[in-house]
A = this chain, B = another copy of it.
Amino acid sequence: MVQIPNTPTSADVARLAGVSRATVSYVLNNTSAVRISEATRLRVHEAARELGYVPHAAARSLRAGHSRMVLMPAPAIPVGHLYGRFLSELQGALGRLDYTVVQYGGAGLHGDEAARAWAELRPVAVLVPGAGLGPQGVAVLKRSGARAVVTVGPGRVEGAHALLMDHEAVGRCAGAHLHARGRRRIGVVLPGEPGLEDYALPRLAGVREALRGTDATVTELPLAYSEEAAAELAARWPASGLDAVFAYNDEYAMLLMRALQDEGIRIPGDVAVIGADDLMLGRLLRPRLSTVHIQLPSGRDLAELVDRAVRDPGGEPEVHTVLGASVVRRESS
């Protein structure tokens, strides 16, 4: 007869150790309210080890009525260095506070539909980057037991805590800088990659705002992330009369800079270029790329916000503006 290796339960451990399931639970959880003899303790541990017993998280949290799971949607677009580092840091910090961070790959789901899917997992907290979660979604999550919903992105949502990433400030920085450098006909790159609008449009608005009331003009420059698109844009450049460009970020800036240089346009002589994100590559370009340095919150700060919110679910939603932007002037502007 073949023994089917069913996954061992605490009952199996109890049987093997010759005790009750209750005792097993006491021992394995180090329940302090109950004193178990050292002999029993040993027998239980031994039995658990022998069977390779692993507790069943779902059963446990079902019984407990709550979990320590912090849920984040997995980013659909590959994240950059900057944001990736932030995520790692956050995971570490939450882990140290004894939360279990889980990224849920709900690719394809959107807005409140996604919220439903997340709610099925009954997380104690939900962290939502970007826009796309409505008040409805927040309500669903809270009704499903989420004690904290934190959005990280451009706007705030009724009922949720918010880390406001003020991408307009990035644009304002760039716009003001270019204007201060004497530029007046300013282009702003709008990246073609989908999913970037949430950042690109506020940045554009920021440039507009910085130049409001001046004699400078702002021109939108849609640009796909390809050499061909950049070359085409560069070819049209002389006719456009633009003397400066905020290139959305450092990578687009590099793309555009190269195309402009290949076209014989001098930087910063003919055109001032500024990027954003302060990536290493900007320092490696010639001329060195000016950029807007973006200061994300520390993962620890966000982790602490989550923890506070979980401990006091009734509290007023906190709203923090957390994105510092400052110009790093190098040689391209």
A residues near B, CB below 8 A? 5, 7-8, 52, 54-59, 61-62, 67, 74, 76-81, 84-85, 87-88, 91-92, 94-95, 100-108, 116, 119-122, 139-140, 143-145, 225, 227, 251, 254-255, 258, 280-281, 283-284, 286
> Residues of B contacting A108 with CB < 8 Å?
92, 95
Q: Do A52 and B139 touch (CB < 8 A)?
A: yes
> Residues of B contacting A5 with CB < 8 Å?
143
Q: Which of B143, B280, B284 contacts A52 (CB 8 A)?
A: B143
> Residues of B contacting A105 with CB < 8 Å?
91, 94-95, 100-103
Additional pairs, 10, CB under 8 Å, beyond known A74-B91, A225-B280: A52-B139, A56-B120, A57-B121, A78-B81, A88-B107, A95-B107, A102-B102, A102-B103, A103-B105, A258-B286
Q: Do A258 and B284 touch (CB < 8 A)?
A: yes
A298 to chain B, nearest CB (A): 15
A80 to chain B, nearest CB (A): 8
Question: Complex Cα distance A139/B51, Å?
Answer: 12
> Residues of B contacting A7 with CB < 8 Å?
122, 143-145
Listed A/B pairs (16) with beta-carbon separation below 8 Å = A7-B122, A8-B143, A56-B62, A57-B122, A58-B62, A59-B62, A95-B105, A95-B106, A95-B107, A100-B105, A101-B105, A103-B104, A103-B105, A251-B280, A254-B284, A255-B284
> Residues of B contacting A58 with CB < 8 Å?
57-59, 61-62, 67, 121-122
Q: Which 8 A-B pairs have the closest CB atoms?
A: A78-B84, A101-B105, A58-B58, A103-B103, A91-B105, A57-B120, A54-B119, A258-B284
Question: Complex Cα distance A283/B254, Å?
Answer: 11
Kindly report how many copies of this chain are found in the complex they form together: 2
Q: Which residue of B lies closest to A81 (CB)?
A: B78
> Residues of B contacting A57 with CB < 8 Å?
58, 120-122
> Residues of B contacting A55 with CB < 8 Å?
120
> Residues of B contacting A140 with CB < 8 Å?
52, 54
Question: Complex Cα distance A87/B284, Å?
Answer: 29
Q: Which residue of B lies closest to A258 (CB)?
A: B284
> Residues of B contacting A284 with CB < 8 Å?
227, 254-255, 258
A251 to chain B, nearest CB (A): 8
Question: Complex Cα distance A10/B106, Å?
Answer: 24
Q: Do B120 and A54 touch (CB < 8 A)?
A: yes
| Contacts known (A56-B62, A62-B58); A79 close to B84, Cβ less than 8 A | yes
- Residue of A107, A108, A225, A251 most packed against chain B (CB within 10 A): A107
A112 to chain B, nearest CB (A): 11
> Residues of B contacting A225 with CB < 8 Å?
280
